[in-house]
Amino acid sequence: MVLVDTSVFIDFFHGKVTSKTEQLKNLILSEENIAICGFIYQEVLQGIKSDKDYKQIKAILDEFVFIFCPESYYLKSAGLYRKLRKKDWLS
């Protein structure tokens, strides 16, 4: 199972060809289990302007495995990010 980031989906749906969008294309064609979480689902869908595109892309996303993450995961992630940022490990 592969969790695909929002930026990859956005590039993919805009037809942008990158190594990551090609990997996503290959995952889809090989029927690999692709996963999304709530943030990714929201970020991809909220940026779509046309109703037609929204319905089509939502239908595609709805075929993927939805990973529910408890609130504690987001809090831990935020804490880790802040800790690394303080150590100047993130740019």
| Segments making up each domain of the chain, as ranges | 2-86
Element (H, E) at 25: helix 19-29
Domain 2-86 has CATH 3.30.70.260: no
Convert the pLDDT of each residue in 4-63 to its tens digit: 999 999 999 999 999 999 999 999 999 989 999 988 999 999 989 999 999 999 999 999
Full-model pTM:
0.75
DSSP-based three-state secondary structure for 4: coil
For 4, 21, 80, the CA distances from 84, given in Å and listed in that order, are: 23, 28, 6
